[in-house]
A and B are shown apart, each in its own frame.
Chain A
Amino acid sequence: MTSTMENPTGLGDPGDTRRRLVVIGNGMAGARAVEEILLRARDQFQITMFGDEPYGNYNRIMLSHVLSGEESDKDIFLNSMEWYEENRIDLHAGIRVTKIDRHAKLVFSDDGRITPYDQLIIATGSNSFMPSMEGLRMDDGSLKPGVFAFRTIDDTRGMVEYATHEHHTRAVVIGGGLLGLEAARGLQAYGLTVDVVHAGAHLMNAQVGPQAGEILRQSVEKLGIFVHTKARTTAILGEEKVEGIWLLEKPQIPCDMVVVAAGIRPNVDLAVRSGFTVERAIVVDDQMRTVDSDDVYAVGECVQHRGEVYGLVAPLWEQAVVLADHITGADPDAAYHGSRTATKLKVAGVDVASMGLQGPERDTDEVLVFSEPKRGVFKSLVIRDEKLVGATVLGDTSKVAFLMQAFDRGLPLPEERLEMLFNLGTPTAEASVEELADDTQVCNCNGVSKAALVHAVEGGCKTVGAVMDKTRAGKGCGSCKTMVCQIVEWAAGGAVQEDPSANWYVPGIPMDKPALMLAILQQELKSVSSVFAALAPDGAEEAKSKMGLASLLKMMWADDYIDEKDAKFINDRVHANIQKDGTFSVVPQMKGGVTSVEQLRRIADVAEKHKIPMIKLTGGQRIDLLGVPKEDLPKVWADLDMPSGYAYGKSFRTVKTCVGQEFCRFGVGDSTKLGIDIESKFQGIESPAKMKLAVTGCPRNCAESLVKDVGMVAIEGGRWEIYIGGAAGAHIRKGDLLATVDSHDEVMTLIGRFMQYYRENAKWLERTYSFVPRIGLEKIRGIVVDDTEGLAAGLDARMATSIAAYKDPWKEGAEPATPGQFRTALPLEVLPQVPIRVGS
Chain B
Amino acid sequence: MTNMSANPETVTENTSALKNKLQALHSWAAVDDSTLNDGQKLAVKYFMGAVILFIFQILFGLLAAAQFIAPNFLYEILDFSVNRMVHINAMILWMLYGFIGCTYWLLEDESGTEIAGLKFGVLGFWVLSAAITVVVLVYLLVQTGAGNDTTLWLINEGREYIEAPRWADIGIVIVMLIFFYNVVMTFSKGKWSGIAGVLTLDLVALAGLYLAGMFYMTNITHEQFWWWWVIHLWVEATWEVLVGVIMAWSLMTILGVSRKIVTTWLYIEVALMFGSGILGLGHHYFWIGTPEYWLTIGGFFSALEPIPLVAMVVHAVYDSGERGFKNMNHPAMAWLIAHAFGNFFGAGVWGFMHTLPQINLYTHGTQWSASHGHLAFFGAYATINIAFFYIAIQHWRGNVWMGADSPNSWRWKWALALLNIGVLGMTIALLIAGYEQSFIERAIGGSTWGGYFAAQTHPSFMTAMHWRMLFGWVTATGLGLLVWDLLTIGKGETRKAEVITHSE
Same assembly: no
Residues of A at the B interface (CB closer than 8 Å) are none
Residues of B at the A interface (CB closer than 8 Å) are none
